[in-house]
Amino acid sequence: MAVTTSRIQALYLTPLVCRVLQAGKLSQARQLLKTGCEFCPNSEDVWLEAARLQPPDMAKAVLAQGVAANPLSIALWLQVAATHFPA
What CATH number did the domain enclosing 66 receive? 1.25.40.10
Q: What is the pLDDT of residue 53?
A: 94
Q: What is the pLDDT of residue 24?
A: 93
* pLDDT band (50, 70, 90) for residue 3: very low
| Mean pLDDT, rounded, of the chain | 88
Q: What is the pLDDT of residue 1?
A: 43
Q: What is the pLDDT of residue 13?
A: 81
Question: pTM of the full predicted structure?
Answer: 0.85
Res 50 pLDDT > 50: yes
What is the DSSP code string of 15-39? HHHHHHHHTT-HHHHHHHHHHHHHH
CA distance 86 to 14: 26
Domain with 15, as residue range(s), is 5-84
